[in-house]
Chains A and B, each alone.
Chain A
């Protein structure tokens, strides 16, 4: 009897005292949507110890409620709120944020994480942020990451033309499947994996303007450090080499007119061709399929020779572009941006075993040929 009573009260206590403090009504939370991390600029440094400026964006739910119809208590102001905090560590920034806000800070819904240029140039800070990102279970692995050319917080100041919330605008930029391939996307999970495996990667580059953000080009990270940028056209070519290219437009000059080639599918294949004079030899073949989108009036394209000629022009353009990018990778940055190491590791493990210890040099000396095979599938409506 006594045992039962004790058991009963234990169960009751377990039920009544667990979890209740986890209960926070949804409108009391601040749903952080965008996180922008910067290295603190010297002129803003007030405290000797602070190193970061962390900016958080969360929606003004009261205002959204008012927008949602005639109901809700209403409330004015901006659709989203941005708060910047300086601190020694990221954890400190988050903590300071919640002490100032009066709402419970909630990171699970964060969709975008941006890093400033200066921060990415500092190897120590990069490694700290990567560790925080990996360690904190509250941060979503599916959020998009990107490097901002400038201060990351400047992106948050942008007033989008259409979208009410900056997060909607930015995810729209990243997510839109039909966007030209110059948009590179990277999720936090990929970012962490690449950072763990040596820290050589190419990240999306964002450039803020007054009322828009441009997501184009790439940030070259080598050994956990930003070492340079890829331009828009270079980024397209690099995407082709990485087999990440989905759709995009190439223009070639034919008969003094610009021919626009609209790519809808591209495939890349790497082939290891053995060694030559101690240099590894690779052939990268790129198969591109697309439509002819634009030409000039009066020019009909029923002649297969003409089409083959245009295809040849496109091939030349692609081969030249990729060669330029490869040159940059091999000679300038000495960084394997194509994933040849992964290719060797997967398909030629013996070769990889031999070269892995001095891969940087082997990569820079490798003979890489690009063979492009562009096909024009449709030439559009005529008459």
Chain B
């Protein structure tokens, strides 16, 4: 059976399964109804949370006559202890007695009074479903159960140790805000909300993962987003069936269009400014709890070559840097392959003097050029990978040792030619100049493929390989949007934000490839122009 058919079949299977799952979930959603007896509810909780020793049951009696039993439940470490101690326990056990002498007489209304008058916490909600209550408990909320009432009160007391808002290490900029997303979902949505104070900014949450029940948020701006894309995102997220989501990478891999493609079809960022800018372009952000990496869809190859800094610097500088980046992309993709093709197959196109120095430097090297290139590229990747895993100080040592071995010793030993060292070094530097780590890696993989193509067929093979890559890119789509959108409609506007970044006052429209309703970004002409008119 062909691979394609198999994929289609599994897709169909998963769709059938989805229908069943939905039914099961509907049954589950009804869950276990709360009982009016506190003991019975507690029994259910204890049975469900058996051996979960981090769950704290705080039993107490309230009211001045101590005749009203109540239980406060929370997971130790996931709640804000201050809040629980001072705003809940203290209110319930001490303050309420001073304030309401007549509570005893209002026993029927006890619950209402407690809820409305004594719990001094911002966000509370009720549920009659014990299973839902357990989910809330495990999400860090505090449960309050009162004897005689078939309802569970969920008090938002989430609070756990979390990293502060720090500068993202993977996407640092010279000019631009220094804050970055962290592992707490709420902090992340806040960072976006602070940048776009628009009521039309929607932050829809859902839970993914049967066991992990991870909070996932879809953020978009209602009248800017392309409705097709939004629907597609929602549908794909809904279809995810997995036990746990620990990083947005899970979601990325589960919702991407083509999982065989080497190119990332979902952009990720640690920078709230970049996420907010993407929202204003009409894209959708997917924020996942427990990870600072926010996904942005749809993604184009173009957006992976951009840095938020491009928009903060003046356009000439930004354009120059972007041109440099595209050159870096081209280098990191084809330089070693080009070197092999040209030296081993078509030396006629090298300038006369360069031919001599290349030939001279290769004199005595025992390997053919492509073996040399593969040796060098692999050792470079080894160095890089080793450096990533090692703690800082040791990582530097590896860099020095590796640099010496590769740069000096290998050449002196006559195993590689000095020109190959230069080629590999330039390629490595170029590949680190690409702002997106994931696209840089895919370029690296393709570089090896092109090296092999060039080793087999020379320049012809290199061009063949590049053509294959371009054909693939042209067919690739991210959430229904072409991966190379700039080229599918001949419009100068499509090129304003591509290799060059046009001046801001000329970029008055949102990207054409997204079809949201509100297309206009900016209208005003510059004041001088107005005066001139």
If the complex has contacts A23-B344, A24-B344, A25-B343, are A68 and B457 also in contact, measured as CB distance less than 8 A? no
- CB pair A106–B360 under 8 Å, yes or no, is no
A29 contacts across to B, CB distance below 8 A: 347, 359
Residue in A4, A18, A27, A109 whose Cβ sees the most chain B Cβ within 10 Å = A27
CB of B364 closer than 8 Å to a CB of A: yes
- CB pair A73–B352 under 8 Å, yes or no, is no
CB of B160 closer than 8 Å to a CB of A: no
A69 contacts across to B, CB distance below 8 A: 418
CB of A20 closer than 8 Å to a CB of B: yes
- CB pair B348–A67 under 8 Å, yes or no, is no
- CB pair B365–A27 under 8 Å, yes or no, is yes
Cβ contacts A87-109/B at 8 Å (1 or 0 each) = 00000000000000000001011
CB of A31 closer than 8 Å to a CB of B: yes
- CB pair A64–B456 under 8 Å, yes or no, is no
- CB pair A31–B460 under 8 Å, yes or no, is no
Of the residues A16, A22, A23, A62, contact of B363 by C-beta under 8 Å: A62
Q: How many residues of A contact B (CB 8 A)?
A: 40
B455 contacts across to A, CB distance below 8 A: 23
- CB pair B456–A20 under 8 Å, yes or no, is yes
Distance (whole angstroms) from the CB of A70 to the closest CB of chain B? 8
A59 contacts across to B, CB distance below 8 A: 356, 359
Distance (whole angstroms) from the CB of A98 to the closest CB of chain B? 16
Residue in B353, B360, B369, B456 whose Cβ sees the most chain A Cβ within 10 Å = B360
If the complex has contacts A62-B364, A65-B361, are A109 and B355 also in contact, measured as CB distance less than 8 A? yes
- CB pair B345–A19 under 8 Å, yes or no, is yes
- CB pair A109–B364 under 8 Å, yes or no, is no
Of the residues B344, B348, B363, contact of A75 by C-beta under 8 Å: B363
- State in angstroms the CA–CA spacing of A168 and B356 once bound together: 12
- State in angstroms the CA–CA spacing of A64 and B359 once bound together: 8
If the complex has contacts A20-B456, A64-B360, are A26 and B352 also in contact, measured as CB distance less than 8 A? no
Distance (whole angstroms) from the CB of B355 to the closest CB of chain A? 6
- CB pair A26–B358 under 8 Å, yes or no, is yes
CB of B520 closer than 8 Å to a CB of A: no
- Chain A residues numbered 1-58 whose CB sits less than 8 Å from any CB in chain B: 4, 15-16, 18-20, 22-27, 29, 31, 33
CB of A111 closer than 8 Å to a CB of B: yes
- State in angstroms the CA–CA spacing of A29 and B346 once bound together: 11
- CB pair B345–A22 under 8 Å, yes or no, is yes
- State in angstroms the CA–CA spacing of A206 and B231 once bound together: 79
Q: How many residues of B contact A (CB 8 A)?
A: 32
Distance (whole angstroms) from the CB of B351 to the closest CB of chain A? 9
B452 to chain A: closest residue by CB: A15
CB of B336 closer than 8 Å to a CB of A: no
CB of A372 closer than 8 Å to a CB of B: no
- CB pair B457–A71 under 8 Å, yes or no, is no
Of the residues B355, B358, B458, contact of A22 by C-beta under 8 Å: B458
B359 contacts across to A, CB distance below 8 A: 26-27, 29, 31, 59, 61, 64-65
B345 contacts across to A, CB distance below 8 A: 19, 22-24
CB of B162 closer than 8 Å to a CB of A: no
CB of B461 closer than 8 Å to a CB of A: yes
A111 contacts across to B, CB distance below 8 A: 352
- State in angstroms the CA–CA spacing of A15 and B465 once bound together: 12
CB of A72 closer than 8 Å to a CB of B: yes
A74 to chain B: closest residue by CB: B364
- Chain B residues numbered 409-428 whose CB sits less than 8 Å from any CB in chain A: 411-412, 414, 417-418
Of the residues A23, A33, A65, contact of B352 by C-beta under 8 Å: A33
CB of B357 closer than 8 Å to a CB of A: yes
- CB pair A64–B458 under 8 Å, yes or no, is no
B364 to chain A: closest residue by CB: A73
A31 contacts across to B, CB distance below 8 A: 347, 355-356, 359
Of the residues B358, B418, B460, contact of A71 by C-beta under 8 Å: B418
Residue in A16, A33, A72, A167 whose Cβ sees the most chain B Cβ within 10 Å = A72
- CB pair A73–B414 under 8 Å, yes or no, is yes
B357 contacts across to A, CB distance below 8 A: 64, 68
- CB pair A64–B356 under 8 Å, yes or no, is yes
- CB pair A23–B364 under 8 Å, yes or no, is no
Distance (whole angstroms) from the CB of B295 to the closest CB of chain A? 36
- CB pair A61–B457 under 8 Å, yes or no, is no
How many Cβ-Cβ contacts under 8 Å join chain A to chain B?
107
If the complex has contacts A26-B355, A33-B352, are A109 and B456 also in contact, measured as CB distance less than 8 A? no
- Chain B residues numbered 318-363 whose CB sits less than 8 Å from any CB in chain A: 343-345, 347-348, 352-353, 355-363
- Chain B residues numbered 262-308 whose CB sits less than 8 Å from any CB in chain A: none
B2 contacts across to A, CB distance below 8 A: 4
- CB pair A26–B364 under 8 Å, yes or no, is no
Distance (whole angstroms) from the CB of B6 to the closest CB of chain A? 13
A72 contacts across to B, CB distance below 8 A: 360-361, 363-364, 414
Of the residues A19, A68, A109, A138, contact of B461 by C-beta under 8 Å: A19
- State in angstroms the CA–CA spacing of A303 and B494 once bound together: 66
Distance (whole angstroms) from the CB of A17 to the closest CB of chain B? 9
Residue in B352, B361, B455 whose Cβ sees the most chain A Cβ within 10 Å = B352
- State in angstroms the CA–CA spacing of A89 and B456 once bound together: 35
- State in angstroms the CA–CA spacing of A166 and B368 once bound together: 29
Distance (whole angstroms) from the CB of A277 to the closest CB of chain B? 55
- CB pair A109–B458 under 8 Å, yes or no, is no
A27 contacts across to B, CB distance below 8 A: 359-360, 362-365
B2 to chain A: closest residue by CB: A4
Distance (whole angstroms) from the CB of B100 to the closest CB of chain A? 81
B458 contacts across to A, CB distance below 8 A: 19, 22-23
- CB pair B369–A25 under 8 Å, yes or no, is yes
Distance (whole angstroms) from the CB of A118 to the closest CB of chain B? 29
Of the residues B348, B352, B356, B460, contact of A61 by C-beta under 8 Å: B356
B347 contacts across to A, CB distance below 8 A: 26, 29, 31, 106, 108-109
- Chain A residues numbered 80-135 whose CB sits less than 8 Å from any CB in chain B: 106, 108-109, 111
B455 to chain A: closest residue by CB: A23
A165 to chain B: closest residue by CB: B356
A23 to chain B: closest residue by CB: B344
- State in angstroms the CA–CA spacing of A108 and B342 once bound together: 13
Distance (whole angstroms) from the CB of A165 to the closest CB of chain B? 8
A31 to chain B: closest residue by CB: B355
B355 contacts across to A, CB distance below 8 A: 26, 31, 109
- CB pair B456–A19 under 8 Å, yes or no, is yes
Cβ contacts B107-137/A at 8 Å (1 or 0 each) = 0000000000000000000000000000000
A24 contacts across to B, CB distance below 8 A: 344-345
Distance (whole angstroms) from the CB of B459 to the closest CB of chain A? 10
- State in angstroms the CA–CA spacing of A167 and B352 once bound together: 10
B418 contacts across to A, CB distance below 8 A: 68-69, 71
B341 to chain A: closest residue by CB: A23
- State in angstroms the CA–CA spacing of A231 and B346 once bound together: 42
Cβ contacts B448-478/A at 8 Å (1 or 0 each) = 0000000111101100000000000000000
- State in angstroms the CA–CA spacing of A15 and B455 once bound together: 11
- CB pair A71–B348 under 8 Å, yes or no, is no
Distance (whole angstroms) from the CB of B376 to the closest CB of chain A? 15
Of the residues B369, B460, B461, contact of A26 by C-beta under 8 Å: B369
- CB pair B344–A19 under 8 Å, yes or no, is no
- CB pair A71–B411 under 8 Å, yes or no, is yes
Distance (whole angstroms) from the CB of B38 to the closest CB of chain A? 67
Distance (whole angstroms) from the CB of A157 to the closest CB of chain B? 21
10 interchain residue pairs of minimum CB distance: A73-B364, A108-B348, A64-B360, A65-B360, A65-B363, A61-B359, A26-B343, A19-B457, A27-B362, A23-B344
A residues contacting B by CB (< 8 A) are 4, 15-16, 18-20, 22-27, 29, 31, 33, 59, 61-75, 106, 108-109, 111, 138, 140, 167-168, 171
Interchain Cβ contacts under 8 Å between A and B, 18 examples: A19-B458, A20-B456, A22-B345, A24-B344, A26-B343, A26-B344, A27-B359, A27-B362, A27-B364, A31-B356, A59-B356, A61-B356, A71-B414, A72-B360, A72-B364, A74-B364, A75-B363, A109-B352
A20-B456, A26-B347, A70-B412 are known contacts; what are 11 more A-B pairs with Cβ within 8 Å?
A19-B457, A22-B345, A26-B355, A61-B356, A63-B360, A64-B359, A64-B363, A65-B361, A65-B362, A69-B418, A73-B364
